[in-house]
Amino acid sequence: MSDSKPLADQVALITGASRGIGLAIARRLGQMGARLALCARNDSVLQKAVAGLHADGIEAYGWPADVTQPGEIARLLQQTNSQLGEMDILVNNAGIGVFGPAHEQSEADWDRVHTTNLKAVFLLSKAVAPQMIARRRGHIVNISSLAGKNVFAGGAIYCASKWGLQGLTGCMAEDLRQYGIRVSSVCPGSVHTDFSPHAGKAAERMLQPDDVAHVVAMLVTQSPTGFASEVLLRPTQKP
């Protein structure tokens, strides 16, 4: 390990990593020396992202996976462990949003958002935790949202999933800290990606994916005697 490569020889798995916030996090951790496993549902977009990382001299592998499915999670972990070794860092970034008044949304909308934004984090973290516990170290970083702290019109299903993610993250942190595993959430405001339309907001004033990546880099390089369990991230100027 060196100051320029503080994550040398560490293995990081990032979900939802083919674009936007996930890809920015992957690039930042790769620049810091981590060996990367990336997953997303769209394999063609994922492989294009991996090729871009290779062009930057970053070791990265991309495996398509639906992290709402336990069988695909098991296959993803087997591929990662076989190719790279056991995980030091897990970044749960995959997420979706459905927006509109709660009374106009369907049960299927509710299930789709909560399965991706909340259940998938539970399933993947549960699958990774045993190897981290055995090694008595590791970082789990859940990409949440300020929507997990605040409410807004039309955000009922999305906010509910992120408030749930905040609760899950906090409890996981308490369950795993005795094993040297640090679990944290990052709660950004609106980020300039294609995740959802941001009508009326100035893109240059919004948070950028690299801003979230910077916070994740900070979380996985903390001193060994403490950890930041939650980071709220806002733009310098209101969009």
- As annotated, the active-site residues are 158
Specify whether the CB–CB gap between 227 and 219 falls below 8 A: yes
- Provide the CA 128 distance to its chain's centre, in angstroms: 14
Determine the Cα–Cα distance for residues 52 and 19; give it in Å rounded to an integer. Answer: 11
Dihedrals phi, psi of 140, to nearest 5 degrees: -120, 120
Q: What is the dihedral of CA 11, 17, 21, 24, to 10 degrees?
A: 60
The neighbour count for residue 52, using CB atoms within 10 Å, is 14
